[in-house]
Amino acid sequence: MSDRSGAPVYVSELDNSRLHIWRLKLDPGQAAPPIVKSGPGLRVLLSGDQITETIADGPARSVPVKRGGFEWQPAGPRHAIKNTGQSPLELVEFELR
């Protein structure tokens, strides 16, 4: 079961036996605490212009945001996201069970 109680900036939009949908909104400069994804899924970017993502203890990677863009997300390691752009960020993550 997916638990993001340590990261209250993630809002649960739907939770059933097959899928958990999370919404994340970050202002410029704001960061979400690291989370562990219990299942693989899809991230869909709704607004913003730039994020920085760190996976596990690896190097941070800069990800340009394109409205409607999407990316497959593997289950597992800790993920941390920071809005490094100039506009508010909104994304939705569909986490499969």
What one-character-per-residue DSSP string does 25-77 give? Answer: EE-TT-EEEEEEESS-EEEEEEE-SEEEEEETTS--EEEE--TT-EEEE-SEE
Q: Is residue 2 part of a domain?
A: no
**H or E element that contains 85:** none
CATH code: domain of residue 91:
2.60.120.10
Burial 68-77 (b: 16+ CB within 10 A, else e): eeeeebeeee
Q: Is residue 4 part of a domain?
A: no
% residues pLDDT > 70 (the chain):
98
Position 76 confidence tier, pLDDT thresholds 50, 70, 90: confident
Range of the domain at 72: 10-96
Tokens of 51: 């994020």
Q: Is residue 5 part of a domain?
A: no
**pTM of the entire predicted model:** 0.91
Q: Is residue 3 part of a domain?
A: no
Tens digits of residue pLDDT in 22-47: 999 999 999 999 999 889 999 999 99
In the predicted structure, residue 10 carries a pLDDT above the cut 90? yes
Specify the number of domains making up the chain.
Answer: 1
